[in-house]
Structure 1
Amino acid sequence: MAAERQPQSSWLWTTSVTLGLLLMEFILLSALVPTDWSNRVRDQEVRWISAELGLESATAIFATAQGWYGALFLNTGLVDASYRLLLPDEAAVRHTPELGKLAENPIWPWMKGRLDVVWYSLYMAIQRLVVLLAWWPFLAFALVGAIGDGLLRRRIRQAGFDYPSPLAHRLAVRGMLGLGFVVSLGLFAPVPLPPLAVPVLAVALAAALSLMLTQTQKRL
């Protein structure tokens, strides 16, 4: 029973830490990143995607990202509702002169900039997710190859009566969790990310998966 609780508590702890760091990253992003910087990050990634993946693939990626963003946030009214809720209504200010001085408060341009950054960040996260999914044939090929390689090496080790290394197995599992953690944080990272980072991460994941299977205990 204790052995079963330990992996479960480890997964819960890892998930909680990841979600907490994602929330902290999103809060810091919303509070500190300038709007102009978000625009430059988006423009740089657009140029990289177009140059490295080709115009046809880039067009499909942008269309898919815009469609998902529109379905999740624009068509549902979440974007408009956030601006209406947190910013003074221009029509109400025109009809109520007493609100004029309140509307001139410098906090409102700052608040609008923070909302712009939040929605830019969500759009960029969706676009990066679409780029990640666009590499699915390479990801599938790398993972299938890693599984086959790991199982074959495991059978060879069993035939030679070699004992698996618990340390190597543990490091491989932690490496896979770390890669998932990096990908999760990368979705909201306030820096431009090249699309060719995806196959690099896929190769690293495949290597960790192959090592984990190779060093898995003989009796599952």
Structure 2
Amino acid sequence: MAGGNGKSGGRRHPVLLWVALLAFDIGFVVILAPTATLQRFLHDQQTLTVAMTGTSAAREIDLMGARWFRDTLIRTDAISDMQRWTDPHRVSGGTPFNETVARVRGVLQARLNAVWWLFYVAFYRAAVIAVWLPYAIPVLAAALWDGWIRRRISKWRFEFSSPMRHRYASRGAGGLVLLAAMIPVLPLPIPPLVIPFALGILAVTARFWVASIQKRV
């Protein structure tokens, strides 16, 4: 009994680890990253995208990411409202308290500018992923269907389904999904061709996951 509890207590849920890493990444940007660094990072990512996908595809990605950013944060007045609330020039009077409030607002406004750039990078990265989805969805659907047919055939033949294979395939697919969800805010330029490569691995692991689902006779 004690050994079983120790084993379960030592496990770490991957979703919790992903949430912790995501919070650390965003917190690092909010607290420390200068706006100029994020601008340079976005420029490096765009340059890499142009080099690996071509000017036409890179332009489509730029327009898509900019449109999502505009519709989500600009047209909803989210940015303008936050800029107004943190504007240090809106504090009137020359008292020490007002001067402190103005300095705090200035710091908050600088950090918010970094957050807006992080959002722009995230939307840009999401657009890179979205460009590949029309090609990835049919491949993933075919892989799932093939896995399901393979499972039906093995069931009719009374073949053994490996729980080990199912577990590893499940963990692999889940890990790739969590990684894909974290790609938009990773603090390093990512080659766009990593996306279809990862989606291909996801299709293969999903196929094995479906094919190795435990059968009930």
So what's the TM-score if we normalise by structure 1? Answer: 0.80
Cα–Cα, structure 1 residues 105 and 161, in superposed 2: closer, same or farther, change >3 Å? same
Where does structure 2 lack aligned partners over 5 or more consecutive residues? 1-12
Give percent identity, aligned residues only.
26
Size of the aligned set, in residue pairs, is: 205
Q: Which moved more, 1:72-81 or 1:17-26?
A: 17-26
Looking at structure 1, the residues matched to 85 and 188 of structure 2 have their Cα atoms a distance apart, in angstroms, of 29
Asked whether the equivalents of residues 125 and 187 of structure 1 are also in contact (C-alpha less than 8 Å), the reply is yes
State the shift of 1:84 in Å: 2.1
Asked whether the equivalents of residues 150 and 212 of structure 1 are also in contact (C-alpha less than 8 Å), the reply is yes
Asked whether the equivalents of residues 88 and 103 of structure 1 are also in contact (C-alpha less than 8 Å), the reply is no
Looking at structure 1, the residues matched to 179 and 192 of structure 2 have their Cα atoms a distance apart, in angstroms, of 15
Cα–Cα, structure 1 residues 108 and 86, in superposed 2: closer, same or farther, change >3 Å? closer
Looking at structure 2, the residues matched to 118 and 18 of structure 1 have their Cα atoms a distance apart, in angstroms, of 20
Which residue is 2:26 aligned to?
26
Task: Confirm whether residue 51 of structure 1 aligns to residue 51 of structure 2.
Answer: yes
Asked whether the equivalents of residues 150 and 210 of structure 1 are also in contact (C-alpha less than 8 Å), the reply is yes
Which residue is 1:149 aligned to?
146
Give per-residue Cα distances to partners, 1:77-109, cap 9 Å, x unaligned. Answer: 11122222223126x55xx4557x927986665
Looking at structure 1, the residues matched to 89 and 165 of structure 2 have their Cα atoms a distance apart, in angstroms, of 60
Which residue is 1:211 aligned to?
208
Asked whether the equivalents of residues 33 and 190 of structure 1 are also in contact (C-alpha less than 8 Å), the reply is no
Amino acid at match of 2:194: A
Cα–Cα, structure 1 residues 39 and 80, in superposed 2: closer, same or farther, change >3 Å? same
Which residue is 2:178 aligned to?
181
State the shift of 1:73 in Å: 0.6
SS of 2:88's equivalent in the other structure is coil
Amino acid at match of 1:182: L
Aligned CA-pair RMSD: 2.8
Asked whether the equivalents of residues 41 and 189 of structure 2 are also in contact (C-alpha less than 8 Å), the reply is yes
SS of 2:185's equivalent in the other structure is coil
Task: Confirm whether residue 140 of structure 1 aligns to residue 137 of structure 2.
Answer: yes
Which residue is 2:197 aligned to?
200
Q: Which moved more, 1:13-22 or 1:127-136?
A: 13-22
Q: Which moved more, 1:189-198 or 1:28-37?
A: 28-37
Which residue is 1:86 aligned to?
86
SS of 1:89's equivalent in the other structure is helix
